[in-house]
Amino acid sequence: MKKYMVLCAGLAVALAFTSCKSSESAYRKAYEKAKAQETNTVVEQPSNAGSETTVVAPVVTRPSTETTVVDNVDNAVVRQESVQLINGSGLRNFSVVVGSFSVKANAEGLQQTLRNGGYDAQIVYNSARNMYRVVATTYDDKASAVRSRNDFKAGKYPDAWLLYNQQ
């Protein structure tokens, strides 16, 4: 019975692969139709040549290295959570969170890594979600926190986010 099922499945797969082929003639017909439309298009001249014509400025393309990106600090997403300090020197209004763990030991490991990197990392606990948050930096103003978060996102912590303590 298994042999027949495997044989039928193989036959169905082979049939599926052979029926999905696209024919070259269909592509050729579409290409020829597009080519014919292109050659038959007539550019019409305006009948009143003495009137004013609209001048369109050319589009100037620039490499992406020359464009400037303005970060709108007011639109930065900030999560509001009620957290309590577990380990660290204290939180300010806005904090940059680089890791969230359900196991305290994992949070302590990341905290130690950040401290070895020169940051005053702290651990806070959100009892509503049962998560330990690792705070890399903390600031009084949102603009400084956004700049710090962007630095972490550009570096080793692309999932960094902002936290506002509700207490």
What's this model's pTM, rounded to 2 decimal places? Answer: 0.57
* Residue 55 in domain: no
Q: Which residue has the higher pLDDT, 139 or 25?
A: 139
* Residue 83 in domain: yes
* Residue 136 in domain: yes
Once rounded to an integer, what is the mean pLDDT over residues 135-148? 93
Give residue-wise pLDDT tens across range 88-123. Answer: 999 999 999 999 999 999 999 999 999 999 999 999
Q: Report the candidate in 153, 143, 145, 141 with the shortest Cα–Cα distance to residue 95.
A: 145
**Is the Cβ–Cβ distance between 36 and 29 less than 8 Å?**
no
* Residue 71 in domain: no
Cα separation, 117 vs 113, in Å, equals: 6
DSSP state, residue 73: G
Q: Is the dihedral of CA 127, 129, 131, 135 positive or negative?
A: negative
Q: Residue 106 sits in which domain range?
A: 77-165
* Residue 14 in domain: no
- pLDDT, residue 40, reads 67
* Residue 24 in domain: no
Give residue-wise pLDDT tens across range 52-74. Answer: 666 666 776 766 565 555 556 77
* Residue 124 in domain: yes
- pLDDT, residue 32, reads 84
Number of structural domains found in the chain: 1
Once rounded to an integer, what is the mean pLDDT over residues 27-55? 66
Cα separation, 30 vs 25, in Å, equals: 9
Q: Specify the CATH number for the domain of residue 159.
A: 3.30.70.1070
Q: Report the candidate in 82, 101, 48 with the shortest Cα–Cα distance to residue 165.
A: 82
Q: Report the candidate in 167, 144, 166, 148 with the shortest Cα–Cα distance to residue 157.
A: 148
* Residue 144 in domain: yes
- pLDDT, residue 101, reads 96
